[in-house]
């Protein structure tokens, strides 16, 4: 159940702005499959173009972090926000980019550990150490 | 302002269980500095030992992910949970492990992008694609 | 799957306190339909009365904001809390109050944008400008 | 305390990409004041340009919702995410756009009410009514 | 720094509706001290009366849970929402109601443990066991 | 739909480390039923052992809080984190430990009340009273 209509391929073909983004997604990913996220965003071509452009710039263009590391970070944020759709889609994406079961297990362990120590720091309202300003302290 | 007392080095020295953990933290990190998180946890030696053991096992022991990647994931979770203490402490830790300004910028960009698409997926209640079950779809 | 029993109309009719609230909901909304939220709250008549009274006072009584604006704010909070039930029910309510597809698209875009800049401010731990105290700064 | 350096006006002037965005912010808002959010984002010109472009497109360009309504929605999301910086900056922005004390009080009451019913729906795991699919049910 | 003015005792005395609530808070708590939460809510007498009435009904009136247990639950929710003000005020309240250091340590340990297993269940998207419907399974 | 395989009893029997934990869960709970949470964790024996050890130490070993109070706190955290699996499993666990319908109603009312006042404190950015440092103020 969704709060918005998901666009079919026929509807996409009839709208040049939406079609251009879908074509670029297919070309970039080298796959015919377009997931529901984009079929929902198609209702707002501005949002569709803006979101795909940001993903191209941040996730796909070469950068300082490798593609798999980026997906692991994405999964971590999605889990912390309790976004079921996003955990599913980005776990699938990470596997497609080579995430091994051991890496997945370690990712999930870190997410759980961070959630635990986040809760400790918040429940105890621990004051930030002035030493962290300098950014030179190991953990 | 905290909701719990932070232990001084004198108090730590007087409690063998707490002292053993603090000694191991100093030895492992090769630094005399102990941050407030541990001085707060010292009030509950069980929690102190359990938390440090988990950090040793997950963050410090060699694994499938490198130490810097682990810190980036930790920062992502901490930011999503709005944990000020944790964002500060783990950003400092990531810098100590070699995080460059370009990597930091990219990390923050991914956190913001994921927060944005998480919000889109949740606000539109987009149904999970059955294809994600198989875990073979690129994004 | 729920953690509490949903009351049927027969059960409601047999309990005067619950029936009074359900009657007022039907009268106020001019509709026979009562959604599951109220059928769940019926298990606790105090909570049922308190919650309906708050909704009457805040959402239904004339105020400084118009009814549709109130629903848009409600959807924004519900999406940020990842409350699937609430996103569905209040998106339906907003449509019943005249929300157009263009307004819905804009609402969702603002929710996503705010989630993104919230994440940036938190991940970077940006200090609050003293100018905001005065409440006179445009964005 | 922040995890990133805030750019001074001198540094901004020395970087053409950053200066162009700051100039446009000043021109668009008709104010010399630039808040810390932008001085932090200046560290990543891509993020700075992308974020300002999204704010121009969503918050400033004429659309289906009026500027004050947009700010109220922004505050609601920021409060739900517990983003102190964002609550402060957007409450100031809403006041600059004419938010009255009565409107502010009503906004805060709706945020609190939604948080309360979100919690009820989640704690009771209430199933979504199939009637909401059609989007025609009043509340 | 707050987004709203905190009322002084002089201002409270000049407003009969606000004064009536403040008088009742002082009488109920048997203390002259009124914390900032109420001084902020005073700006909206409807919200002030509604919130105090709910606290009287849920937290103060005799019920199925004892007063200290209620405060522990309140702290748990406040920590999970990363509400600094609320963690401080309700930890103080719990201590005033007799919370021992051992009980506090155990509370914080449960909050951290639940945050950890919540994260595991969400990151792994574990399906709910049908057996939980019946509510008869021990953990 | 899950992002990880759930282990069958046959698979568990073939792995001594996993089998040892499952045997201890069955013995401790005096029940043959093992819920999906553990069948998912079985993929990472380290996480399985660490999580079960923490639950034994915090939730099952005698402590300063009684077992039912511990479960109520667990439910409160799980609801605040919007963890559907956890709300279901711990509500079932609380019922198994004797939670009455009146206690459940009161728990849910406190969760909703705290969510409401958390939102008020955050939306208004109310400053923490210095009196709370001492921990002696009743609410």
Instruction: Convert chain C into a string of H (helix), E (strand) and C (coil).
Output: CCCCCCCCHHHHHCCHHHHHHHHHHHHHHCCCCCCHHHHHHCCCHHHHHHHHHHHHHHHHCCCCCCHHHHHHHHHHHHHHCCCHHHHHHHHHHHHHCCCCHHHHHHHHHHHHHHHHHHHHHHHHCCCCCHHHHHCCCCC
In whole angstroms, how large is the CA radius of gyration of chain E? 19
> Which of chain E's residues have a Cβ under 8 Å away from the Cβ of A79?
119, 122-123
Segment holding A67, helix H or strand E: helix A67-80
- On whether the CB atoms of residues A135 and B91 are closer than 8 A, the answer is yes
Confidence (pLDDT) at E108: 98
* Residue B136, pLDDT score: 43
Residue found by looking up tokens 């993104």 in the block: C116
Which value does ipTM take for this structure?
Answer: 0.95
Which CATH number is F1-61 given? 1.20.1290.10
CA quadruple A28, A33, A37, A39: dihedral sign: positive
The pLDDT, as a whole number, for residue C134 is 57
Nearest CA in chain B to A89: B132
Average pLDDT over residues A98-125: 98
Judge contact between A118 and B86, C-beta under 8 A.
yes
Which portions of chain D are predicted below pLDDT 50?
A: 135-139
pLDDT tens, E88-104?
A: 999 999 999 999 999 99
* Strand, helix or coil for residue E14: coil
The minimal CB distance from C108 to the residues B75, B79, B124 is found for B124
Kindly list the residues from chain B whose CB atom is less than 8 angstroms away from the CB atom of residue C81: none
Burial of A119 (0-12, 13-18, 19+ CB in 10 A): buried
Fold: same for E1-61 and E64-125: yes
Q: How confident is the model at residue C27 (pLDDT cuts 50, 70, 90)?
A: very high
| CATH number belonging to the domain at D65-124, selected among 1.10.3710.10, 3.40.50.720, 1.20.1290.10, 3.40.30.10 | 1.20.1290.10
Could you tell me which chains touch chain E, where touching means 3 or more CB pairs under 8 A? A, B, C, D, F
CATH architecture of B65-125: Up-down Bundle (1.20)
Number of residues that make up chain D? 139
Please tell me the predicted confidence (pLDDT) of residue D133: 76
Residues of C with CB under 8 A from a CB of E: 1, 3, 46, 50, 54, 57, 128, 130, 132-133, 135
Question: Considering CB atoms only, which of E44, E51, E77 is closest to D105?
Answer: E44
Tens digit of pLDDT per residue, chain E (139 long)?
789 999 999 999 999 999 999 999 999 999 999 999 999 999 999 999 999 999 999 999 999 999 999 999 999 999 999 999 999 999 999 999 999 999 999 999 999 999 999 999 999 999 999 999 754 444 4
Of B6, B5, B39, give the one whose Cα is nearest residue B22. B39
pLDDT band at F134 (very low <50, low <70, confident <90, very high): low
Mean pLDDT value across chain F: 95
The minimal CB distance from A93 to the residues B51, B100, B138 is found for B138
B88 chain-D contacts, CB cut-off 8 A: 1, 3
User: D115 near C5, Cβ under 8 Å?
Assistant: no
Q: Which residue has the tokens 């993929």?
A: F43
B46–F128 C-beta distance less than 8 A:
no
For C64-125, CATH number? 1.20.1290.10
Q: Which of A110, A112, A126, A128 is the best residue to mutate to test the E interface, defined by the most E CB atoms within 10 Å of its own CB?
A: A112
Task: Compute CA distances C7 → C4, C16, C25, whole Å.
Answer: 9, 14, 15
Interface test with D, best of A44, A51, A57 (most D CBs within 10 A): A57
Q: Which residues of chain B have a pLDDT value below 50? A: 135-139
Give the integer Cα–Cα distance in Å for D79 and E82: 11
What pLDDT, on the 0 to 100 scale, is given for residue E133?
A: 76
Tokens of F130: 């210095």
Domain edges within chain E:
1-61, 64-125
E123/A75 CB distance under 8 A: yes
Nearest to A82 by CA among C90, E124, C57, B17: E124
């Amino acid at each position: 159940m969704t709060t918005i209509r998901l666009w079919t391929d026929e509807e996409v073909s009839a709208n040049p702005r939406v079609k251009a983004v879908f074509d670029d997604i297919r070309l970039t990913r080298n796959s015919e499959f377009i997931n529901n996220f984009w079929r929902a965003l198609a209702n707002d071509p501005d949002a569709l173009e803006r979101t795909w452009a940001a993903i191209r710039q941040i996730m796909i263009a070469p950068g300082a972090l490798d593609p798999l590391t980026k997906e692991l970070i994405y999964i971590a944020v999605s889990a912390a926000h309790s976004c079921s759709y996003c955990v599913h889609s980005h776990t699938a994406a990470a596997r497609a980019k080579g995430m091994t079961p051991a890496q997945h297990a370690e990712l999930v362990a870190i997410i759980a550990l961070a959630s635990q120590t986040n809760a400790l720091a918040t429940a105890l309202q621990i004051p930030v150490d002035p030493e962290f300003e300098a950014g030179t302290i190991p953990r």
